[in-house]
Amino acid sequence: MLNADAFFYDYKDYQVSKIVDRTAVNENFDAKIWGLEFETLFSPTRNLRLNANLGYLDTRIGAGAKSIDIMNRTQGNPNYALVKPWAQYPSNCVLPVSVVEAALLANNGKPGPLQEACGDFGLSIAVGSVLIDPNTGKKYTPDTYPQLNGGAGLSQNLEGDELPNSPHWTANIGAQYGYDFAQGWRATIRADGYWQSQSWARVYNAVNDKLHGWYNTNLSLWIERPDDGLKIEIYAKNLLDKTPITDAFINSDDTDLTTNVFVLDPRLIGFSITKTF
């Protein structure tokens, strides 16, 4: 038996979550998703069964999508600097380098009069006099630099980036062999494996977002008596005891951008008895 299908999705406001300032924030992006799937099942004899699946997936974020990456608030632009508004505050902000330099010069090298310099954050690095923006000769205000989004940072263009947790390739293969014995009993052994190619943990597709491809194998052996509804099984999940990182998310700035990762469960060997009535 061979099955195949193709699909295409054109999303409006596809929702993606991230952690900002200790809070889960949802952002919406237009996105297009398409893919192919193939499934085959082959039984050359009554006792032997083989199966395989192959999938291809392509995802793209739509035009005009932008977001602020808290791991790269300045986007590598040397004209802007990352600043901590206040020691107890859960986030950082971005200021023009010229403004930071002026503040340091005005306070003998100490982070001085940056009062309200972080705009929407509503906090200051230190209490001091009004800060004059050397670029304008007036009091500094984030409104002069709309590209800083109130001090939150520079936006990254996401157009064409891939959606999180969307590997291009996935595949699994399995085989099982059954054998009748005694009176009404049947023994079956089965092995299967799964593999997926690399993907991304976040929409920014940065080098630190890469989730490497990984694979998993399982093995099981069971005997059953279908007429009685009895099944006795011993199994091993993640037989090779691999622990690849399968997903990750980044915490707020105040946690030093620590990353929570999810890994495959370690090898699990189990035994079960099932009785149906």
Would the pLDDT of 58 be above 70?
yes
At 137 the pLDDT is 85
Structure confidence at residue 124 as a pLDDT band (50, 70, 90): very low
For residues 121-136, average pLDDT: 58
Classify burial at 73, counting beta carbons within 10 Å of its beta carbon; exposed 0-12, middle 13-18, buried 19 or more.
buried
Per domain, the residue ranges of the chain are 2-63+165-275, 80-153
| 29-33, 121-125, 163-167: least confidently modelled range | 121-125
At 87 the pLDDT is 65
Average pLDDT value over all residues in the chain: 88
Would the pLDDT of 128 be above 60?
no
For residues 55-76, average pLDDT: 95
For residues 159-184, average pLDDT: 95
Q: Are 32 and 11 in contact (CB under 8 A)?
A: yes
226-270 pLDDT, tens digit each? 888 899 999 999 999 999 999 998 988 877 888 999 999 999 999
The neighbour count for residue 72, using CB atoms within 10 Å, is 16
What architecture is domain 2-63+165-275? Beta Barrel (2.40)
Task: Determine the Cα–Cα distance for residues 99 and 139; give it in Å rounded to an integer.
Answer: 10
Q: How far is CA 220 from CA 188, 189, 191, 267, in A?
A: 8, 6, 7, 13
- DSSP secondary structure of 144-174: G-GGGGGGT-PPEE-TTPPPTT--SEEEEEE
- Say whether 120 sits in a helix, a strand or coil: helix
At 88 the pLDDT is 66
Please report where in the chains the tokens 């494996």 appear, as a residue.
193
Give the tokens for residue 98: 């010229």
- In 107-246, which ranges are continuous DSSP H helix? none
The pLDDT > 70 percentage for the chain reads 88
| 43-52, 81-90, 122-131: least confidently modelled range | 122-131
- Say whether 106 sits in a helix, a strand or coil: helix
